[in-house]
Amino acid sequence: MRLAASERRRLRRHLLVAAALREVLAQEPVVVGGTAEEYHSAAEYHETDLDVCAPLSANDKVLLAQLGFARHGRHWFHEASKVAVEFPDTRIDGDDGRVERFRVSTGTVAMIGLDDLYLDRLRQATAPFHPDTSIEFASALAVAAACFDRIDRRYVLRRIGAIEASEPDIGSKMRALDSKIRRRVRRSFVRPSR
């Protein structure tokens, strides 16, 4: 955590905190949300917090306090590094086998896979009343644009199909947004660069 506190780059600081959490928590925390978006897409998303999925036991909470985290509403705030950590869920919504692991300094970060991040951004984009102009839509668009040829289409379409079966309204919105995003990305790539 000392390394994180002295790190000036915001994304790297968040990754260092994630690596530190992985060392102490009973179950591996997986980075999701804005930090994952900035990592995968290289967009200047300016995440406000560090979202990680992991179950938090009573012992984990004691360890967090010992590391210097204090509870503030839904966040655990680390004063020295100014990083706010949220645990939105106990596990990722997706395939654990697609989680990416990489070294940061002396630690390891577990990051939600690109395909599941894109699906998460699509799902988030179904919520706003005017989806096309929302931050959530821009997020999904950013991930698709930066990683267009790395996204596993078959997996994405299979997951959307499964969501359509259990949550028809959300699933069909995700499918429509996915089509719209892909069309827009393709159009932009085909157009000559300015």
Partner 1 sequence: MLSLMDATQIGPLIEALRREAGLTQSELARRLATTQAAISKIETGRSLPSLTVIERIARAIGRPITITLGDAREPLTRKERQERLRRVLGDYRFDPWDRNPTPVEQESLLADGLTRERFSS
Tokens for 120, please give them: 């998460």
Exactly one of 3, 12, 27, 43 binds partner 1 (CB under 8 A); that residue is 43
Shortest gap between Cβ of 182 and partner 1 (angstroms)?
8
Report the phi/psi class of residue 124: left, alpha or beta, with left for phi > 0 and alpha for psi in -120 to 50.
alpha
Shortest gap between Cβ of 156 and partner 1 (angstroms)?
10
Is residue 102 involved in binding partner 1 (CB under 8 A)?
A: no
Is residue 24 involved in binding partner 1 (CB under 8 A)?
A: no
Is residue 12 involved in binding partner 1 (CB under 8 A)?
A: no
Is residue 75 involved in binding partner 1 (CB under 8 A)?
A: yes
Show contacts with partner 1 in window 158-177 (CB under 8 A).
none
| φ and ψ of 30, to 5 deg | -115, 125
Rounded Cα–Cα distance for residues 164 and 168 (Å) = 4
Is residue 106 involved in binding partner 1 (CB under 8 A)?
A: no
Shortest gap between Cβ of 145 and partner 1 (angstroms)?
4
**Pattern 128-157, partner 1, x by CB under 8 A:** -------x--xx-xx-xxxxxxx-xxx---
| φ and ψ of 23, to 5 deg | -75, -30
CB within 8 Å of 66: residues ≥ 6 apart: none
Is residue 44 involved in binding partner 1 (CB under 8 A)?
A: yes
How many alpha carbons lie under 13 Å from residue 87 in its C-beta half-sphere?
A: 18
Exactly one of 84, 112, 117, 163 binds partner 1 (CB under 8 A); that residue is 84
Shortest gap between Cβ of 83 and partner 1 (angstroms)?
6
As beta bridge partners, residue 50 has: 85
Rounded Cα–Cα distance for residues 56 and 34 (Å) = 21
What residue has token string 């100014």?
Answer: 82
Which of 116, 173, 108 shows the shortest CA–CA distance to 150?
116
Residues making contact with partner 1 (CB under 8 A):
10, 41-49, 72-75, 77, 82-84, 135, 138-139, 141-142, 144-150, 152-154, 182, 184-186, 188-191, 193
